Amino acid sequence: MLYRENMEQKELREWEARCIQEEPPLCRAGCPLAVDARAFSQAMAKDNLSAALAILEKGMPLAAVTARMCEAPCEEYCVRGNLGGAIAIGGLERTCIRLAPIKRKRLLLPPKSKKVAVFGSGPSSLTVAFDLARKGYPITLFHLPPAPGSWLRDVQESDLPQQVLEEEIKYLESLGVRFCSIAAIGKAACDGSGCDAVYIGRDDEVAEDLAELLAGPDEQTFALARSGWFTGGLCSQDHVYRFITDISQGRQAAVSIDRFLQGASLTASRVLPRKGRSNLFTETSHISVRLPIVPADAAGFSREEAVEEAGRCIDCQCLECVRHCVYLAEYGSYPKAYARRVYNNSAIVKGVHQANTFINSCSLCRQCEVFCPNDFSMADLCLTARELMVLEKRMPPSAHWFALEEMNSAGNEGALIRHAPVAKASSRLFFPGCQLAGIRPEQVLRLYDSLCGQVPETGIWLDCCAAPAHWAGEAELFARKMKRFSTLWGEMGSPPVITACSSCLKMFRENLPEMPVRSVWEVLAEDSSLQPTLESSAPLALTDPCTSRHDEVTRNSVRTLLTALGQRLASLPMSGEVTECCGFGGLMENADPALARKVVQARVDQSEADFLTYCAMCRDQLAKTGKPVVHLLDLLFPDIAHPASEQPASLSLRRVNRRQLKSSVLKRYSPQEQPDMLPWEDLSLAVAPEVAAVLDKRRILEDDIRQVLYRARQRDAYLVHGKTGNRIASARLGEVTFWVEYREKQDVFRILRCWSHRMTITGEQ
């Protein structure tokens, strides 16, 4: 594949830094060796001893000794600590190493030319020998008689069997470490080693004459004043974490020696022990207390006990956003990894853009921003990527096609802006939004009438707020639309605007700051004449549209209205600021209809109660699941309420409704004033419900069918089946070729099947 620099590396790093999911869990951050204790506990909980052992071996030098001797400072940091008691990670390590003996593979490394002398054979010295021998350095380890091991030789057999220590020393020999017994570790021996680097472990007996040379090692690198000399193992005998701290110092010294011998900086980009510092956030409010497992045998956990004890591990993760978002969970990862995926996708010049659907499926609902301790925004990440795709002309043409068609239709044949009949000016303008106009034209009119009842000079403005263009990443188109809105609004005298849709409200507020705009629910909530008529009705689960997330005033106004009406509410956990999208937002439904269905199903599953919403799109999206969903207008205008169980309006009906609404409004000015009928508009269709359902799924409108049939009739051009007499007609309408199979009888077209494609046929008209 070919890549290019698009989303700058720096930009990617900034995105990545915001997501803390890859920060280490506190146990790991608290381990001087950064052993992945979380993964270890998880493996133990699954009774997967070999995986658990592999984690210990990866993080520990001489794991057979270290796992037995480690004092487990990690337990101090364990999040389970306040929820029953820390996981006995040290005990689990010992159980693991006892039950799963290490099988070491022989490493054959090309030997390096630089030599290292290690003095002393305490834990730190053995660590230096282990780490550097595995890098191929020839090591000579000078120890006091009778045998290497220093104070480890004095540990009681039950804690560290001497045989285990012997085997680890044999392993070091197999790596090429040469063991030399010397009478004393003193200046003369160290001076005369003839090696390129020297390590002197203080966790062994060291002669007095070295005292001056060993003074004041660097706290991070363990380098001594003399070049090429290093030390470690500095803990006093009564240090509570003596063993593991000395091991850690040996490891840090080994890193320094390797860097020194390669002529590299000892400090540049060095990863230092975190000493328990981590930015990982773990929500624990849902975690109940579980007490530690006490081993029946004082010698340690049985295998079953170990599984149970490890099972108490919380598996600390952030995943705050992923836990609540079907979309983020669907792709199996988390925002930091997603940022890389989006970055790679934008960098590909030639090759498959695997993340296009991923980028186009985010509902841009911004719930993740609320849950993220660092405000990571998938919406901003995806929207930026979409805008780039559009700019570079690599947005899949079909990705948002239908939504943009809908926007255009609502902005053309469905659009209207007028002062109230007989009024010469507007003191405010009502903008119901194209979705409400599409599903509830009669309720829109009633709502408009009640607004006019309050203030007679209320003008009306029918259009789409251009949210689809914004969501599709069509920044230029969106800016053009906003400019046009600004002009139209100015021509109306720049009055305050009232919307019945939270998305319109958000689009106007964020993009036309000069336009004063508020929600119709806020306006209605100021009306004190409402009567509590709904006190006896069943409680409803009120779902806030995602575009009202940060609009507390509107959300509260809706609740004020409902209280005034006496409507009781059932609880819905994800509400208000943490509300969820219905699957339409961000054009998710266009990019991935199957995912949108999952999202909406997960939403309705959150309450047994019927749902209530004040967003037209939410009403019909949620109703797709079969869940009864009430729109707030059904409660406000019970005489023209739609049944809660009503299926969503078809795409075709939405178009008809918008035209009808416009026509009804125009009739109020003068009965003659009507929009021009399109020549195909009165073609009579008969569409069976099962055919209509398929049409909707395929996003084929009755308007499209009428145009195809009208053309076929005009040109007298179609195909006829030799036996059944069925006809097939087709026409290219915009970006798509539509095909209709039908029968015609007495000027009624019975529609049998319809399909479409985007490819063009050479010579097609």
Partner 1 sequence: MSLSFLPKDMNWLCRPCGVPLEPGIVELRYLGNVFKVELLVCPKCSAVLISEDLALGRMLEVEQLLEDK
Name which of 357 and 663 has its Cβ closer to partner 1: 357
Which of residues 100, 656, 728, 733 is near partner 1 by CB under 8 A? Answer: 728
Q: Is 135 one of the binding residues for partner 1 (CB under 8 A)?
A: no
Q: Which of residues 522-541 bind partner 1 (CB under 8 A)?
A: none
3-state secondary structure of 468: helix
What binding mask, one character per residue, do residues 277-316 give for partner 1 by CB under 8 A, x or -?
A: ----------------------------------------
Q: Which of residues 84-103 bind partner 1 (CB under 8 A)?
A: none
CA distances from 109 to 61, 114, 172 (A): 17, 14, 13
Q: Which of residues 358-417 bind partner 1 (CB under 8 A)?
A: 394, 396-399
State the number of CA atoms in the 13 A half-sphere of 471 facing the CB: 31
Which of residues 356, 519, 590, 607 is near partner 1 by CB under 8 A? Answer: 356
Cα Rg, the chain, nearest whole Å: 36
Min separation Cβ 680 and partner 1, Å: 19
The answer to whether the beta carbons of residues 742 and 754 sit under 8 Å apart is no
The answer to whether the beta carbons of residues 193 and 172 sit under 8 Å apart is no
- Which residues, 6+ apart, have CB-to-CB distance to 569 below 8 Å? 539, 540, 541, 542, 559, 562, 612
Min separation Cβ 694 and partner 1, Å: 10
H or E, element range at 435: helix 434-439
Binding range to partner 1, per CB under 8 A, among 61-69, 361-369, 533-541, 755-763? 755-763
Binding range to partner 1, per CB under 8 A, among 129-137, 284-292, 320-328, 351-359? 351-359
Name which of 170 and 753 has its Cβ closer to partner 1: 753
Return contacts of 700-704, CB within 8 angstroms, 24+ apart. 700/738, 700/754, 700/755, 700/756, 701/651, 701/652, 701/655, 702/652, 702/655, 702/656, 703/652, 703/655, 704/733, 704/738
Nearest to 420 by CA among 469, 447, 460, 468: 460
Name which of 398 and 533 has its Cβ closer to partner 1: 398
Which of residues 286, 350, 424, 723 is near partner 1 by CB under 8 A? Answer: 723
Name which of 87 and 731 has its Cβ closer to partner 1: 731
Number of residues that bind partner 1 (CB under 8 A): 34
Query: What is the rounded CA–CA span in Å between residue 204 and residue 119?
Result: 9
Which of residues 110, 263, 689, 722 is near partner 1 by CB under 8 A? Answer: 722
Q: Is 720 one of the binding residues for partner 1 (CB under 8 A)?
A: yes
3-state secondary structure of 69: helix
Min separation Cβ 233 and partner 1, Å: 58
Which of residues 17, 180, 686, 719 is near partner 1 by CB under 8 A? Answer: 719
Name which of 361 and 547 has its Cβ closer to partner 1: 361
Q: Is 590 one of the binding residues for partner 1 (CB under 8 A)?
A: no
Binding range to partner 1, per CB under 8 A, among 85-93, 242-250, 318-326, 713-721? 713-721
**Cα distance between the two ends of the chain:** 38
Q: Is 721 one of the binding residues for partner 1 (CB under 8 A)?
A: yes
Min separation Cβ 700 and partner 1, Å: 11
Q: Helix axis angle, 303-310 relative to 37-45, nearest 10°? A: 120
Min separation Cβ 284 and partner 1, Å: 41
Buried b (16+ CB within 10 A) or exposed e, 129-153: bbbbbebbbbbbbbbbeeebbbbbe
- Which residues, 6+ apart, have CB-to-CB distance to 4 below 8 Å? 347, 348, 349
Q: How many CB atoms lie within 10 A of CB 520?
A: 26
Min separation Cβ 396 and partner 1, Å: 4
Min separation Cβ 430 and partner 1, Å: 39
Name which of 272 and 720 has its Cβ closer to partner 1: 720
Q: Is 759 one of the binding residues for partner 1 (CB under 8 A)?
A: yes
Name which of 357 and 563 has its Cβ closer to partner 1: 357
Q: Is 366 left (phi over 0), alpha (psi -120 to 50) or beta?
A: left
Buried b (16+ CB within 10 A) or exposed e, 379-416: bebbbbbbbbbbeeeebeeebbbbbbbbbbbbbebbbb
Min separation Cβ 719 and partner 1, Å: 5
Binding site for partner 1 (CB under 8 A): 352-353, 356-357, 394, 396-399, 716-723, 727-728, 730, 737, 739, 741, 753, 755-764
